[in-house]
Structures are given as C-alpha cells and as structure tokens.
Structure 1
C-alpha cells in the first residue's frame, strides 16, 4: 500500500517515463515524467472498465483520496457511474444560481409584475444588495454573509428600510424556492428585529389648523408651479403619489369630472374610476395646459421629458414643505390619510370615501356592490375641497 512518506519522496521528482502504482481497492496513482502524482480510481460499470481522476497529490492527501474512493464505491453500489455523477455535480455547481440570478428570476415573475413599485425595488437591490453579495451562490450562503448587508443600511440611518428590505428579499427567495430555482431561502431564519426596526403603524393626519398651514406653506415655498399643483391635487383627491406621478392626460375626463386609474398604476392592480371635485378638475386642467405637447400630466420639472417624474421627487417636495411649514412629523402619504379622515368627519359614508381612495369594499359589498359611486364621490370631494378652502381662509382670510 502507498504511504504519505513514499508520496512525499516521489512528488515533484522527474522520472524517465509515466508509471502507475496501486494502493488497493481500486485506488492507484499515476506519476508523470515531471513528477506530478495523480490519484485515480479504477472500476467497472455496465461491463466497461472505467478510470476516474480524483486529483493531484498537491491538492488532496492520500487519506482524502481513499475517502473519495469509498464514496465512489457507494455510488457504484447504487448502480450509478461515479464519473457521471461527479460530472453532474460539477455542472450543477457551475450553474448554481447566485443572488443576482435569483433576484432577476423573481423580477420577471407574475408576482413581481403586479408591483407598482417594481422599478423601485430593482434599483434598491442594485444599490444595497447586489454590489456586496450579488455574485455569491445562494445555496452556499450563511446568515453571516447577510449581516454586513443590513448593517450598512443601519449605519446609514435606514433601520426601518433594512426591515422592509428583508421582507422583500424573503418574498423573492421564497418564490425561487417554490419554482425550484434554489433549495432553501438563505434568510428564512432572520426576523425584522434582527436586522432593523419594524415599521411603525402611522396614524398621522392633519388637523384643520395644519391643513391651512400646509396649504400656505406650499404657496410660499420655492417649489415649481407644476409641483405645487401636484401636491394640491394629492390632498384634494386622496390619491396615492404613484397614481398621480404616473398619470397621463388621457386618463382624465374633466367634463364629467372623472379620473380613470389604469391597472398598472393601481396598487391592487385593478383599474378603477375616481370622481373629481370642481376644484381638483380646475387644477388638473391647469396642469394639462402647462405642457400641451406632452402626454404625461406631471413630467420631470427640469427636463420636461414625456415620462413620469421619479419617486424621489415626492420625498423632496415633502421635505421642502415641512421646512417652510415648521412641522416635520409628517410624510406625503399622510395627505391621503388626512383626506380620508376629514371626509369621515364631514359625514361622508365610508363606502364612498373608500371608493375615492381606490380601496376595495370589504365583505359582502365587495362581491355584490359593483357600483362606482361616481356622483357620490364627486359630491364628497366637493365637500372636502370646500373644507380645505375654509381651513386656509381661517388662517389667512
């Protein structure tokens, strides 16, 4: 039998010609004229003689080679060819999906296509995840590979975002598991509290006094006239920012005071029609006339290209208004909550205000009541617009 001492003595020593030396049990070595020692396993499969290269002595030890032979014999006892099995394992490893592969696989799924913010998440992955772990093979990853990713987010002050990112990554990897792209999700054991701060339930809405201060602060600010119109319309319609940011002029029928929100801009991926107040219709008409040759209602204010402005614009607008207003504990989405709350205070029936917000009715109503309540929406939003005007007049008659 071979010994490590004998192999060390032979390794790297040139010899006149290639020779082979047995170890037993099918294991042997080939020594090349340059002194390279190669382990090999000789066996028969389906009546054919086979020789399987295990590796060189510089890469594996004699003990490793013997263990590999025992593993190959177990494979052989199952009726499989060890060489074929090894080749398949090498191919599987070479084609094993990386984090980049998995996120790209999820991004083209039916599940992802229903997300209004799909482009946002693609950019978020590209910025916060892929530069650091994008090339790693998912099935080989440990939790320790992910901890630095979330730590960077926390150190940049994005603790809540880190938790949201974890939830979205879990969604993407769970889809890859279901579609047999990977075996297990590498972050399934992590919780939001492990990587960041859970999202707080927000109940913020403007009081009547704050509505007046908000409107006047918007007027005083250095925000472009186009974007002032956008913010005012958000409050007067209760619309989501994405619905108005991506809206095209053709969606509006100002004569009949309606706004048809298409499925691609709807959070529920269901199209719906929203009524409009007289005041909102006038503001939308003014916005349409700013760029008569463009199809987009609110294009980027600087470039005026015929495309939607970026999502970050709304964040910047809110910051400018907060600074001018002197009230900082609110976000742009709170305008939607304010519109809903004020409609309730003004006696608007819940099913009407829910239609205004583009929500689905609940319970039996969701099944049997398919009425759009356009007239009722218009009346409700006229009442809201009058209330907003009264709030502004109470501060600045």
Structure 2
C-alpha cells in the first residue's frame, strides 16, 4: 500500500513490540522502531549489493518531501553514483564547510591586501557590521535574504559603508565560486543604487557647522594613519582638489616664502592656462605640512604605505566613509553621505562669507571670470591670506586646530 500522511500521523510515536517496515512506492519505505520513531528509507542495489539509505525522520521530513528526496537519490543511481556515498560526502562537506570569516580571511590574504590600498578599512567594515551577524555561518548556506538584512539597514544609516561591504562581499563570493567553495554568488545581481537605493548626491553636499565639528573630532580621535588625518584636514582648510595634495612634492611647499605652489601638471586649470596655482601657507597649515614631511623620506609630500610612491586615489577614497562610520558607531551621529570633494565644496561655500567671488574662485584653483591667462596669483596673495585667516578662525571656533 502507498503511505499516507494520516497513517504516518497515527503511527508516529506509537509503541510496538518490534521493528516494523511498511513499503510505500518506488522502493521507498518507512522503518518504525519499537518506540514509534518513523524513519523514511530508500532500498536499492548498487554494484550487485543491497543498500538501504535513511532519508529522514517523520514529521521533520514530510511524506511529500521524502518522496522528492527519494526521487533525487534514484537519479544518482541513473548517473552511476551510490546515493549512500554521495550523502556521506555531502554531510562531510557540510561539517568541514568554510565559514564566511574563514573564506574572507583567505581572500583578504591572497587578494585584498595585495590589490587594494584600502584593505584595512575593508576588513574593519566587515568586522564591525558582518562577522558578528553571519561570520561563523558556512558561506555556502548564507542566503541572499541574510545579506540583504545587513546591507539594507546599513544603506539607511551609512550608505557609503553599505556600498563598500556590498562591493567587497560580491568579490569574496566571486573568488569563492572560482575555487568551488560556493556554487552560487547570491549577490552577483545586487547593485547599490538599484537595489539598496544608495544615492551619493554628487555636487550638492555642503557640511554644516555641526558636521564640521564632528568630522574634525572623528579625525582627531580615529586610529587612522597620521598622514591621512593631515590629508583630510588640509583638504578642508585649503578647499583644494584632493589630487593636488596627493601628487604634491615636498619641494612644492616653500616654507620660507610661505606659499604652496601647485605645478601646472598637478592642477586641472593649469593644463589649460599653463599657470601654477599659488596658495598661502598660514601657521596652522604650516604645522601640518611640516609634520607630514617628517613622516617619510620620499620626495613626495604624502605617500602610500611603501613610503615611496605618492598617495593613490584609492587609498584616499575610503577616508570619508571611515569618518562617517566612526561617528555613527561611537557617537550615534548619522550623516548624509559626503565625499572628499564635498570638503572642497564646503570650504568654497564658506569662502563666500570672507572674500569676493573672484578671490574665492582663485583660492580653489578656478579661473577668474573674464581673466583666463591674464591674472597673477601672487597679486592676490594678500586677499587669499585674509580670507584663509577668517576661514581658519572659524574652524578654530568650531574645533581646536
């Protein structure tokens, strides 16, 4: 007779004098122990030998699911595989399954630290937001829903960190798939903007006075490298393009004449006008500049970790995200996303309160209207000094420079 749910329910847990076996169909049956434990089994022959495979226990495994599993096991026979052996291999694979953290660590050592200048920041983000939730789970068993539960919450609070984790989690899973650690990259079709609603609002962000205070506080208190702290502060003080600092030589800073000269090849406008950008060096700026110069023996003002090559774009890209994450984690201070370029925009907005539009444009390295190729930066140093002095005084009132 074919088994039914009603029969199984009636006999489950019902004591009897001896083991009883009842056939279903397609070589499946149930074995009922004297205490009434019901176990689904599949009977088959492999290599001329009779075999019996436990499929699962009722009611944890329903009759419907037991029949489906039995069919799957019979399909292995059609492929010349022994279902009992394949199940043991599968169980052993699960026992030895690599956790997400184990796979991340392997990826980190073999790829991330060799290819990514922001490797330490990536690890820190996973440690703070991912490992406590799913780090000890077998990576193959982590579902898309589990990933999204983490990413969607972060996207609401710190979108830049959510995007960082998504980008690198996809790479971890891609790396694992190539090595047959996972069969599917469940994040392969998930995108920051389309699926997490992350918008960077480029071109609109200006930090408020309160945000400036908190950002400066986070920079001072963070465990970031000193060169990165100096870099962020000078970006805000000068309102310069971050590439102008990253590519700068120590010789670009004339500490005797108190001017920073950005050569033609390092400034965007200079490539069109053939002119250098000349900015004043005020005492607060000089203190940071001298400190940065003492950190390496290179000709470059700021360097990568090798202390030889100039600071790369990738290594500076994650700094803003790290500041936002620190403020959220330590002060429960949630900021809308901002980038390094927004520090420049913030400075420029404030310059408007301290000087004319033309001088403010000159300070950030723009061409003065109607005077392309005719102005002389040195002629405007007094006006720049006056405006920068007022700006640094404001920063000093908001923070402690």
TM normalised by structure 1 equals 0.54
Q: Determine helix, strand or coil for the equivalent of 2:17.
A: coil
Shift of 1:152: 2.2
Residue 32 of structure 1: how far off its partner (Å): 1.8
Give yes or no for contact 2:99–2:136 (8 Å, CA) kept in 1: yes
Partners of 1:341 and 1:176 lie apart in 2 by: 49
Q: State which of 382, 385, 400 in structure 2 corresponds to 1:392.
A: 385
Distance 1:142 1:88, change over 3 A: same
> Relative to structure 1, is the Cα distance of residues 63 and 173 closer, same or farther in structure 2, using a 3 angstrom cutoff?
closer
**Is contact 1:240–1:333 with CA below 8 Å preserved after alignment?**
no
Residues 1:331 and 2:343 are matched in the alignment: yes
The separation in 2 between residues aligned to 1:111 and 1:329, in whole angstroms, is: 26
**Do the aligned residues in 1 keep the contact of 2:155 with 2:163 (CA within 8 Å)?**
no
The match for 1:83 is 84
Q: In the TM superposition, what is the alpha-carbon distance from 1:80 to its structure 2 partner?
A: 0.7
Q: Counterparts in 2 of 1:1-397, with a 5 A limit?
A: 1-4=1-4, 5-23=6-24, 25-156=26-157, 158-193=158-193, 194-201=195-202, 231=233, 238-240=244-246, 249=294, 251-252=296-297, 258-259=299-300, 264=305, 271=309, 312=323, 330-331=342-343, 391-392=384-385
Within 1, Cα distance between the matches of 2:246 and 2:135?
32
C-alpha distance in structure 2 between counterparts of 1:32 and 1:147, whole Å: 44
Q: What SS does the corresponding residue of 2:76 show, helix, strand or coil?
A: helix
Report the Cα distance in structure 2 between the residues aligned to 1:197 and 1:72, rounded to whole angstroms.
45
C-alpha change, 1:6 and 1:87, in structure 2 (3 Å) is same
Q: Give 3-state SS (helix, strand or coil) of 1:40's partner.
A: strand
The Cα shift of 1:61 comes to 3.6
Matches of 1:61 and 1:52, distance apart in 2: 16
**CA distance in structure 2 between the aligned counterparts of 1:396 and 1:78, rounded to whole angstroms:** 80
Q: For 2:292 and 2:389, how far apart are their aligned partners in 1? A: 32
**Native 8 Å contact 2:12 2:36 kept in 1:** yes
Displacement of 1:57: 2.8
- Secondary structure (helix, strand or coil) at the match of 2:343 reads coil
- Equivalence for 1:212: none
CA gap of 1:247–1:187, structure 2 versus 1, over 3 A, is: farther
Cα pair 2:42 2:52 within 8 Å, conserved: yes
- Long gaps (5+) in structure 2: 207-212, 221-225, 250-287, 312-321, 328-339, 348-359, 369-375, 391-401
Q: Is the 8 A contact 1:11 1:35 kept in 2?
A: yes
Q: Deviations over 1:197-222 (max 9, x none)?
A: 344556999xxxxxxxxxxx9xxx9x
Structure 2 residue aligned with 1:379: none
Q: What is the CA-CA distance between 1:161 and the residue it aligns to?
A: 4.1
Q: Which range moved further: 48-57 or 99-108? A: 99-108
User: Match of 1:79, SS?
Assistant: coil
**TM-aligned CA distance change 1:122 to 1:248, over 3 Å:** farther
Deviation per CA, 1:234-258: give whole Å up to 9, x if none: 96994449x99997957237xxxx3
Query: For this pair of structures, how many residues does the alignment match?
Result: 288
Secondary structure (helix, strand or coil) at the match of 1:83 reads: helix
Cα distance between partner residues in 1 of 2:245 and 2:388: 25
Equivalent position SS for 1:331? helix
Residue 44 of structure 1: CA displacement?
1.8
Tell me the TM-score normalised to structure 2 length.
0.54
Counterpart-to-counterpart distance in 1, 2:72 and 2:388: 84
Report the CA distance shift for 1:112/1:203 in structure 2 as closer, same or farther (over 3 A): farther
Tell me, yes or no, if the aligned pair for 1:139 and 1:182 is still in contact at 8 Å. Answer: yes
CA deviations over 1:339-383 (Å, ceiling 9, x no partner): x9977979xxxxxxxxxxxxxxxxxxxxxxxxxxxxxxxxxxxx9
- Relative to structure 1, the CA distance from residue 122 to residue 21 in structure 2 (aligned partners, 3 Å threshold; closer, same or farther) is same
Q: Which residue of 1 aligns with 2:261?
A: none
Instruction: Give the secondary structure class of the aligned counterpart of 1:16.
Output: coil
CA shift at 1:82, angstroms? 0.6
In the TM superposition, residue 88 of structure 1 has moved relative to its aligned partner by 1.9
Q: Deviation of residue 6 (structure 1)?
A: 4.4
In structure 2, C-alpha distance between the alignment counterparts of 1:58 and 1:394, rounded to whole Å = 78
CA RMSD for the aligned pairs?
A: 5.1
Q: Deviations over 1:304-356 (max 9, x none)?
A: xxxxxxx759x99xxxxxxxxxxx99427999xx9x9977979xxxxxxxxxx
